[in-house]
Amino acid sequence: MIMHYSVNKIPVGVLGASGYAGRELCAIIARHPRFSLAFATANEQRGQTVRAGRDDVTFIASDDAPLAKAEIVFCALPHGASLAWVERARSAGARVVDLSSDFRPGHGDAAAKAVYGMPELGSATRSAIASADIVANPGCYPTSILLALAPLASAGLVAPGAMIIANAASGVTGAGNSPKRELLFAEVSEDYRAYGVGNTHRHLKEMLATMATFGAAHADLVFTPHLLPVARGILSSITVPVVRELADATEPLRAAYPNEPFIEVVPQQPRLRDVVHRNVVRMTATMIAGTRAPTMLVTSAIDNLVKGAAGQAVQNANLMCALDECTGLPT
Amino acid sequence: MIMHYSVNKIPVGVLGASGYAGRELCAIIARHPRFSLAFATANEQRGQTVRAGRDDVTFIASDDAPLAKAEIVFCALPHGASLAWVERARSAGARVVDLSSDFRPGHGDAAAKAVYGMPELGSATRSAIASADIVANPGCYPTSILLALAPLASAGLVAPGAMIIANAASGVTGAGNSPKRELLFAEVSEDYRAYGVGNTHRHLKEMLATMATFGAAHADLVFTPHLLPVARGILSSITVPVVRELADATEPLRAAYPNEPFIEVVPQQPRLRDVVHRNVVRMTATMIAGTRAPTMLVTSAIDNLVKGAAGQAVQNANLMCALDECTGLPT
Amino acid sequence: MIMHYSVNKIPVGVLGASGYAGRELCAIIARHPRFSLAFATANEQRGQTVRAGRDDVTFIASDDAPLAKAEIVFCALPHGASLAWVERARSAGARVVDLSSDFRPGHGDAAAKAVYGMPELGSATRSAIASADIVANPGCYPTSILLALAPLASAGLVAPGAMIIANAASGVTGAGNSPKRELLFAEVSEDYRAYGVGNTHRHLKEMLATMATFGAAHADLVFTPHLLPVARGILSSITVPVVRELADATEPLRAAYPNEPFIEVVPQQPRLRDVVHRNVVRMTATMIAGTRAPTMLVTSAIDNLVKGAAGQAVQNANLMCALDECTGLPT
Amino acid sequence: MIMHYSVNKIPVGVLGASGYAGRELCAIIARHPRFSLAFATANEQRGQTVRAGRDDVTFIASDDAPLAKAEIVFCALPHGASLAWVERARSAGARVVDLSSDFRPGHGDAAAKAVYGMPELGSATRSAIASADIVANPGCYPTSILLALAPLASAGLVAPGAMIIANAASGVTGAGNSPKRELLFAEVSEDYRAYGVGNTHRHLKEMLATMATFGAAHADLVFTPHLLPVARGILSSITVPVVRELADATEPLRAAYPNEPFIEVVPQQPRLRDVVHRNVVRMTATMIAGTRAPTMLVTSAIDNLVKGAAGQAVQNANLMCALDECTGLPT
């Protein structure tokens, strides 16, 4: 916020900088005290200059990216297109944070080459990220849902064979900024609808595979995303059959995240306005009254472009560069 | 739209006409070819003239309402305040459609004096409404959720002891038009949050009591409402454990509602824009992939002020007056 | 709302039915008691069925349109593309209401072949519309601005050589439903900006040419449109130097429109919510305090898709078919 | 973002901290590297703790405020209520930045006791602010409009006796957060309207009095504000008769603000999204084509809560404390 010095800055690059996540990355990097932007690519918009935070960024074609100049390459290319570019960046000697699903758990063999970049899953994850060459940055919905579920599963609270129902609602930036008729203002405003129903959404596999790593392999998951008439933010409302009533349903969440700078366990219901433009997951939990078996509702809110994408990517890059995990991140 | 003749019109009155439901009632009555508005009360705004559809309506104090002049009195007073006024209207000889929760199932002894006004529950319900002196008009969330659940329960499809998870999201008119800070534009826009969590919402009892009437007493219900940044509309996403996989999950819905003018069973996901300003419930159903036990997602959309309040009230009044059920209602 | 009979209905067609104006046309025609939809074309979406009001409409290719079957063809094709299709419809024997700018005043020679379809400009205009073969349906901004200015000019109130400043703001449906990035929800929500500044907007010529017909040729016009984060509606705020102070600035407006069913002169400021989904212009006028020369502010609101496009088109078609001008139109 | 040290911090207080401007003040102070919040008052909400930026703030009653502990008191009380509290803070030895209109030009004798805090009016203004005991922080609309007009007037470009037409549109936070029905989401969304028309808005006098100080006393001003369905932001569209055509209308703006950190003169139209959450005025200018006399349109955008209120207040306080003017301010 105060002075800019370019000595000792770590050069980073962004592949796919014109999408919403890519632009958010450029903006966070512009404010980051230790990263400097070596390049930002956007094939269709190459030559264009856009504002990113307080800096101007001129897009170049991906083929022109000086990959070797970057210590960290953030890859924000579309799913499917990422795989080859990550390899290319690796060949040039860069370490990579990939924001696509290409290297995420549940998406095939490539996942084995990457570390899943959700630092709050624990110290082992943090260590793995710190030394990783490729970090698969989690999806926005999984970030919101898994960080709410992990403490319950780790504490053995999820009822055996439980059916976990995760209803989530996302702002439209989650769908990207390619011009589609269904995302026009006149179509989205005053509307709301489910999509990707029936467990068909791309993020389901990522969640199931990750749930297995923290002891929830026995549970079923029903995931129903919805499209909200807001620009940013995800709120997930997750109903979880648990093994016993808790006097304070938030206790296992607070116990799991005693010192996490980016997790806020609160007594009141989190709302999107609490989290937009911030790199946090804000959550609470409540016991459901009147059901035969003990049941808990966990609600969690994130900014899909920050903690759900660009912010978490920089958080991972901070770990990879042995910086304070919070460096340059809006809390 | 064509001509206005007042001969043979049935005089009706509205108690509590200044709220969103009350105004919608006045607007529908203004367009209704067989109803004429005898009076509209609003104590705090008495003397004020507002537009209702194409007519102007001047509010009077409730104490000045010529109750005896109305054949049907619509009571849109707040919960708790309705009870006494319904009795008063009855004493004056009027039949009543009450939009509060005071006479609804699950809300105490008064429910025994009223018929629950959800015509699509079946022909017995329709007959009871037709001859009722007091109709308890259903709540907005229950309308959206129960009409989605009833066909599954009646067909014996709901798994024994099932935990049904009803996540629903409503536009802000559902919260009324009393000025509250939390409902200001600057608070609601770009926001989304859960409320009434943990099965504490007023509508839960109404739903549980009604579910018992159509064979779902064995099931648990978890109801989580949310506040949407839209003016109107409710979308409910209901996850239901069922006894078997269905090749076409919409089949039991279509079978249950073969000729209902106000029910639309569709193949695609219903959205708020499909239903606003219309007296319909629009719904679909999908089997969930990959769960151990067969599970169905039913999504249903209504306009909370029309099918969820004023429209359904007029639908009930049409039945009480032996008119075609669709008279004057926007489909 | 009542019954549907197809005898004696007048067949009409819609060219370019998939845009917002085209869809609104189909919806109004579906409710119109004397028009029946003979065809609706949309090349890119041919074969698709959409809901229009209470009817379903299946789009065909323009080349397949049975033009000769329609008495009236509504042409809602893009500017430039309309000219040839209007000729083709004329050759097939149909009369045409063209919603593009191709036949409007100020847009070249084609204007001479058409009557400018703004009925409220006076009885001579109405007569000309009634017998016209081609009616050029006015633009949305001109409808909002000219109907506010005409009474002042006709009454000789506009100061000689006055500079009239028309600031106007439109909902995004005015920009059509082609998918453009700048019209995405995430770009438009919480935003507001001017566009087409410096008198470069297409509608300027139409306004200047029409102003000359009602005695305002001496005045200058500065027109600055803005894009509002709403789906529908235009509000114009027009500052007009006038020849004298008026005790009641609305008097000339009321005097000019004593019996117009679609003009509402009101004492309070018109707002978009007053006019959406209605075929009206709602306006008021106020004297400005403290200026050296008498100055008036006229504000006028319309629904850009109804009175600003499809509704006015049907109003013109009603006149062409010797129907009551209000037939089938939402007031 | 980095470290917090309380040594050498300048204690400041906020009177009236629960309104939108008051909260924004607390949030900016929380991030300010040289200010520390000594107290924040809110009589109705005393005892409540709210989040302000990354800090929690607990409101106290104004009567309990330790005024003497603050070097600078920001007074964000309502118009009329400010006067007495500013005197009280002065008696306690604090210097004051007052955000109400009580000390602004055009609002009576109190203005003589204060310096009008619009630093970009020039170096004399900056010097006066630096040594002032009371700074009258400008209104939001005047900030947007005067900083666009001043360069034209100072350069002698405003035509003699010109009628300047300032149409402006503001987000709803400009109307405060007192719960009023007309500001409910369901009333504001999808709406737009003018208010305070006819030169009746409180800010008119402030603008006229200030225009006289930069050589525009000869001009008339017509000011028409509008209410936008957005939370934040003001866009002003100002039509100005000028003495000659300019090849580049932005030239006088760029010439007037060569090194201003909070003024952005740009070639494209400014939009609200460019300026929200930033302490800047972003503006452009265009010549109007086709008018008899040379006429210019200047459009300028601000965040009404930042550069239009709390941000500018901190900018003034920075000057008063001999800090870098940009300290702690979001650009």
The verdict on a CB contact (< 8 Å) between D295 and C197 is no
Distance from CA of A58 to the nearest CA of B (A): 30
Which residues of B fall within a CB distance of 8 Å from C189? Answer: 190
Both tokens of residue D248?
């580049």
**Mean pLDDT, all residues of chain A:** 95
pLDDT at position C4, please?
A: 42
pLDDT at position A3, please?
A: 36
Distance from CA of D54 to the nearest CA of A (A): 7
Closest CA to C19 of C69, C81, C65, C63: C81
What is the number of other CB atoms lying within 10 angstroms of the CB of residue C84?
11
The verdict on a CB contact (< 8 Å) between A192 and B169 is yes
**Which class for A109: exposed (0-12), middle (13-18), buried (19 or more C-beta within 10 A)?**
exposed
pLDDT at position D124, please?
A: 97
CA distance C86 to C15: 9
Of the candidates A1, A189, A190, which has its C-beta nearest D1's C-beta?
A1
The verdict on a CB contact (< 8 Å) between B193 and A269 is yes
Distance from CA of C229 to the nearest CA of D (A): 7
Q: Any idea what DSSP says for residue B138?
A: P
Q: What angle do CA A71, A74, A79 make, to 5 degrees?
A: 145
The pLDDT confidence band at residue D147, using thresholds 50, 70 and 90, is: very high
Of the candidates D31, D190, D274, which has its C-beta nearest A190's C-beta?
D190
Residue C3 has pLDDT above 70, yes or no: no
Q: Which residues of chain B does CATH 3.40.50.720 include?
A: 10-138+308-320
CA distance A200 to A192: 19
Closest CA to D145 of D204, D105, D104: D204
Q: For residue range D280-323, what is the model confidence (pLDDT) as tens digits?
A: 999 999 999 999 999 999 999 999 999 999 999 999 999 999 99
Q: For residue range B275-289, what is the model confidence (pLDDT) as tens digits?
A: 999 999 999 999 999
The verdict on a CB contact (< 8 Å) between A54 and D2 is no
Q: For residue range D172-195, what is the model confidence (pLDDT) as tens digits?
A: 999 988 899 999 999 999 999 999
Both tokens of residue D268?
């494209």
- In chain C, whose CA is at the least distance from the CA of A181? C179
CATH of domain A10-138+308-320: 3.40.50.720
CA distance B170 to B224: 11
pLDDT at position B7, please?
A: 55
- In chain D, whose CA is at the least distance from the CA of C188? D273
CA distance C98 to C96: 6
CA atoms within 13 A on the CB side of B101: 18
Q: For residue range A138-166, what is the model confidence (pLDDT) as tens digits?
A: 999 999 999 999 999 999 999 999 999 99
- Kindly list the residues of chain C whose beta carbon comes within 8 Å of any beta carbon in chain B: 1-2, 33, 51, 54, 189-190, 274, 328, 331
Of the candidates C171, C189, C230, which has its C-beta nearest A231's C-beta?
C189
Which residues of A fall within a CB distance of 8 Å from C187? Answer: 177, 185
Residue A215 has pLDDT above 80, yes or no: yes
- Give buried/exposed letters for A2-22 (b at 16+ CB in 10 A, else e): eeeeeeeebbbbbbbbbbbbb
Q: For residue range D268-281, what is the model confidence (pLDDT) as tens digits?
A: 999 999 999 999 99
From the candidates B26, B140, B321, B326, which is the catalytic residue? Answer: B140
Residue positions of D annotated with a catalytic role: 140
Of the candidates C195, C198, C288, which has its C-beta nearest D287's C-beta?
C198
What is the number of other CB atoms lying within 10 angstroms of the CB of residue B214?
17
Residue positions of A annotated with a catalytic role: 140
Q: Which residue intervals of chain D are DSSP H helices?
A: 20-31, 82-91, 123-130, 140-154, 185-188, 203-213, 251-256, 272-275, 311-320
pLDDT at position C7, please?
A: 55
Q: For residue range C40-99, what is the model confidence (pLDDT) as tens digits?
A: 999 999 999 987 766 788 999 999 999 999 999 999 999 999 999 999 999 999 999 999
The verdict on a CB contact (< 8 Å) between B199 and A289 is yes
Q: Which residue intervals of chain B are DSSP H helices?
A: 20-31, 82-91, 123-130, 140-154, 185-188, 203-213, 251-256, 272-275, 311-320
CA distance C278 to C306: 6
Rounded percentage of chain D residues whose pLDDT exceeds 90: 93
CA distance A313 to A26: 11
CA distance A129 to C244: 76
The pLDDT confidence band at residue C262, using thresholds 50, 70 and 90, is: very high
Residue type, D291: T
The pLDDT confidence band at residue C2, using thresholds 50, 70 and 90, is: very low
Q: For residue range B108-121, what is the model confidence (pLDDT) as tens digits?
A: 999 999 999 999 99
CA atoms within 13 A on the CB side of B144: 31
Residue C231 has pLDDT above 80, yes or no: yes
pLDDT at position C5, please?
A: 42
Q: What angle do CA B102, B108, B89 make, to 5 degrees?
A: 40
Distance from CA of A233 to the nearest CA of C (A): 12
Q: Any idea what DSSP says for residue D37?
A: E
- In chain A, whose CA is at the least distance from the CA of B268? A195
- Residue A134 belongs to what H/E stretch? strand A134-136
Residue type, C252: P
ipTM of this predicted complex? 0.95
**A140-304 belongs to CATH 3.50.50.60:** no
β C281-287/C263-265 pair status = parallel
Which residues of D fall within a CB distance of 8 Å from A326? Answer: 1
- Kindly list the residues of chain C whose beta carbon comes within 8 Å of any beta carbon in chain A: 20, 171-173, 177-181, 183-190, 229-232
Would residue B140 show up in a list of annotated catalytic residues for this protein? yes
Sheet hosting strand A281-287, strand order edge to edge: A193-194, A220-227, A163-170, A234-241, A295-302, A281-287, A263-265
pTM of the predicted structure, to 2 decimals: 0.95
CA distance B299 to B305: 19
Which residues of C fall within a CB distance of 8 Å from D169? Answer: 169, 192, 226
CA distances from A71 to A14, A317, C301 (A): 11, 10, 57
The pLDDT confidence band at residue B1, using thresholds 50, 70 and 90, is: very low
Of the candidates C54, C274, C331, which has its C-beta nearest B54's C-beta?
C331
The verdict on a CB contact (< 8 Å) between B177 and D181 is yes
Q: Any idea what DSSP says for residue A315?
A: H
CA distance B89 to D64: 53
pLDDT at position D23, please?
A: 94
Of the candidates C2, C190, C328, which has its C-beta nearest B190's C-beta?
C190
- Give buried/exposed letters for C19-53 (b at 16+ CB in 10 A, else e): bbbbbbbbbbbbbbbbbbbbbbbbeeeeeeebebb
Rounded percentage of chain D residues whose pLDDT exceeds 70: 97
The verdict on a CB contact (< 8 Å) between D229 and B189 is yes
Tell me, letter by letter, the H, E, C secondary structure of chain C: CCCCCCCCCEEEEEECCCCHHHHHHHHHHHHCCCEEEEEEECCCCCCCEEEECCEEEECECHHHCCHHHCCEEEECCCCCCHHHHHHHHHHCCCEEEECCCCCCCCCCHHHHHCEECCHHHCHHHHHHHHCCCEEECCCHHHHHHHHHHHHHHHCCCECCCCEEEEEEEECHHHHCCCCCHHHEHHHHCCCCEECCCCCCCCHHHHHHHHHHHCCCCCCEEEEEEEECCCCCCEEEEEEEEECCCCCCCCHHHHHHCCCCCCEEECCCCCEHHHHCCCCCEEEEEEECCCCCCCEEEEEEEECCCHHHHHHHHHHHHHHHCCCCCCCCCCC
Q: For residue range B131-173, what is the model confidence (pLDDT) as tens digits?
A: 999 999 999 999 999 999 999 999 999 999 999 999 999 999 9
Q: Three-state DSSP class for D100?
A: coil
What is the number of other CB atoms lying within 10 angstroms of the CB of residue C209?
17
Q: How far is CA B256 from the centre of its chain?
A: 19
**Mean pLDDT, all residues of chain D:** 95
The verdict on a CB contact (< 8 Å) between C198 and D288 is yes
CA distance A316 to A323: 10
How many beta-carbon pairs below 8 A join chains A and B? 158
Q: Which residues of chain C does CATH 3.30.360.10 include?
A: 140-304
**Which class for C326: exposed (0-12), middle (13-18), buried (19 or more C-beta within 10 A)?**
middle
Residue A283 has pLDDT above 70, yes or no: yes
Asked whether A272 and B191 are in contact (CB, 8 A), the reply is: yes
CA distance D117 to D137: 5
Average pLDDT estimate for A2-14: 71
Distance from CA of D41 to the nearest CA of B (A): 19
Distance from CA of D230 to the nearest CA of B (A): 7
Rounded percentage of chain C residues whose pLDDT exceeds 90: 93
Tokens 């989190």 -> residue: A270
Which residues of A fall within a CB distance of 8 Å from C20? Answer: 186
Distance from CA of B71 to the nearest CA of D (A): 32
Residue D3 has pLDDT above 70, yes or no: no
Which residues of B fall within a CB distance of 8 Å from D183? Answer: 179, 184-186
Chains touching D, CB cut-off 8 Å, 3+ pairs: A, B, C
What is the number of other CB atoms lying within 10 angstroms of the CB of residue B47?
9
The pLDDT confidence band at residue D7, using thresholds 50, 70 and 90, is: low
The verdict on a CB contact (< 8 Å) between A331 and D54 is yes
Average pLDDT estimate for A12-16: 98
CA distance B83 to B248: 44
Q: For residue range A49-99, what is the model confidence (pLDDT) as tens digits?
A: 987 766 788 999 999 999 999 999 999 999 999 999 999 999 999 999 999
